[in-house]
Structure 1
Amino acid sequence: MIRHRRPLKPLNEINLTSLLDVAFVLLIAFMLVAPSIHYGIDLALPTLSEGAPQLTQDQTKLYTIMVPKPVDGRQDFFMNDTPSELTDIESRLTMQAKSGSKVAVEIRADRDVSYDTFIQVVAAVRRSGVQAVGLPVEPLSVAPPAAAATQPTPSATESADKPASTPAASTPATIAP
């Protein structure tokens, strides 16, 4: 028995039923969710009382601790340009912090001060209860140093004999004195 099959023809139309089903489900979902979305930001705005508000002056006391380069192995400390020991600085800052006044400290260290000494100063300030500690730094120069621009480039034999050094690697980061 011979069966005759019709050859398969390509479909000339796209079935849009499933696409429309998904589109309507998404439309209904957005219609249900949209009313519950809260737009805007809640702000607690101050109320205006009679007259202009009075501005209060900031009562923060700023102390500057300077740590200069060690001389003959002796490390000196200065608090507001007065020579002090680290324990004295800590006790003075503790008294100021406990008195209720706002205290801010600016630590200025020379680039030749050891990291250990610098950390001891920062730790003493933190132990005193001062929360605002600033470390002023020198701004970076954008232009390369003049000496680097005039130096000739080393030849291949010179660079093989000596390790390469960059100005950034030979000069440590600095904290302005």
Structure 2
Amino acid sequence: MNVTRRRRKPVAEINVVPYIDVMLVLLIIFMVTAPLVTQGVKVDLPQANAEPLDDESKSPIVASIDEQGQYFVSTGEHNGDEAMSAQDVAVIVAAQLQIDPETPVVVKADRRIPYNNVIELMVLLQRAGAPSVGLMTEPKQ
């Protein structure tokens, strides 16, 4: 009996199915963890000693909180003398940013109020359309 066997050619292919499985698992992990990492309020903090705004720069929108937790807004049109609700602050800031989106926005808060009130105001300003929010301080003596 004469048996002829076929010679097999070597296969030079890479099986990519395990790599696709690993990539899908990594994709799911990153999709789940990404929202957890990016929570918070965006704040522009100075990296060195704070310097005052230039005289040539635009007049900023100043959102203030007093000791009792009342809100005030000072813009070019409003002088910030009367207390207002959070919704009124959002409307005024949104209207001013619609007119001039490059207007800087700063928060001026009393040192005795809880930190949570400052964060709530910053979130309110962010939702009103402020791209970044600065914190106003008194110079050291």
**TM-score, normalising length from structure 1?**
0.40
Q: Which has the higher contact order (CA 8 A, sep 6+)?
A: 2
**TM-score, normalising length from structure 2?**
0.49
